[in-house]
Amino acid sequence: MRGVALALGGGGVRGYAHLGVLKVLEEAGIPIRALSGSSAGALAAAAWAFGHKDPFRIQEAIFDQEVAALKKAGSLRALARLFTALRRPHLVGWERVEAGLRALFGEARLEESPIPLALQAADLLTGEGVVLREGPVWRAVLASMAIPGLFPPVEWEGRLLVDGDVAEKVPVRAAKALFPRVVAVDVSNPPPKEGPRTALEAALLAGEASRRRLKEEALKEADLVLRLDPPAPIDTFDHEKLPLVYRLGQERARARLKEIQALARPRFRDFLGAWRGRPPRT
């Protein structure tokens, strides 16, 4: 069968690049056979699968609400309650973002997606990756975007789920389970060139370095990897960069378009596997 699956990685505002990549593939007539996503990639995957392809519409519905919540958390009034806030398991509530997701997806469910869809989350208590294939879309996206410490975890069938990046930043394996030929899209910032200035920065850099190593191991399983490689680091919540990252996504996809088109062509072993009644191998 002609086409590819896409595994869309997390990265906050850099996730807008995923929509640019998907737009280029759509214009080139390359069938998208499946989508997986983690964190911002989960939002992009779900939005595209259910026909929400305008990044500015998504910004209005979701990210503007997220920014408003973060600004509220950083207001003078909130800072005056800093010590109280640090005793809580999270700093910001979900109310605004949840309302935006409900408005975007309504009562749609993952299993109703026109394109096979898998969203990556993580179990907060075990660190285990949890791939969501059934249930309300808005709630699954919420779980995949729940940055630990910043937003509250999402209860899901007896588990506490948080940001999918904790388990697998670019969910290649989830995409492979849906379709054998996978393009992974990594929208990470480049590694920092300078060491930490504070103890907090050191702790954050150590966690990011660990996730980066796990990400690179997962990317080895993809058939092709697109990297955003921004000219300069783009802050996770710098939503003014939407036009830039959307354009970068398009540029990176066009630069590798011939390779993606070649990957999308059916292979003899795919037909052989179908003839034998087995799923095609990669």
Whether residue 39 lies in the annotated active site: yes
Residue 280 lies in a domain: no
Token reading at 103? 């408005």
Q: What is the pLDDT of residues 143-161, one digit of tens each?
A: 999 988 888 999 999 999 9
Instruction: Tell me 281's DSSP state.
Output: P
CATH of the domain at 41: 3.40.1090.10
CA dihedral sign, ordered 225, 228, 232, 238: negative
Residue 221 lies in a domain: yes
Residue 282 lies in a domain: no
Catalytic residue among 36, 38, 39, 113: 39
Catalytic residue among 36, 163, 165, 188: 163
Residue 210 lies in a domain: yes
Q: What share of the chain is helix, strand, coil (3-state, %, to 5)?
A: 50, 15, 35
Only one residue has tokens 């699954």, namely 140
Q: For residue 77, is pLDDT > 60?
A: no
Q: Read off the pTM.
A: 0.85
Say if CB 175 and CB 182 are below 8 A apart. yes
Residues paired with residue 37 on neighbouring β-strands, in sequence order: 8, 119
Whether residue 163 lies in the annotated active site: yes
Q: Which domain holds residue 106?
A: 4-272
Residue 74 lies in a domain: yes
Q: What is the pLDDT of residues 183-192, one digit of tens each?
A: 999 999 887 7
Say if CB 20 and CB 250 are below 8 A apart. yes
Residues paired with residue 235 on neighbouring β-strands, in sequence order: none
Closest CA to 129 of 185, 211, 186: 211
Confidence of residue 116 (pLDDT cuts 50, 70, 90): very high
Task: Report the number of distinct structural domains present in the chain.
Answer: 1
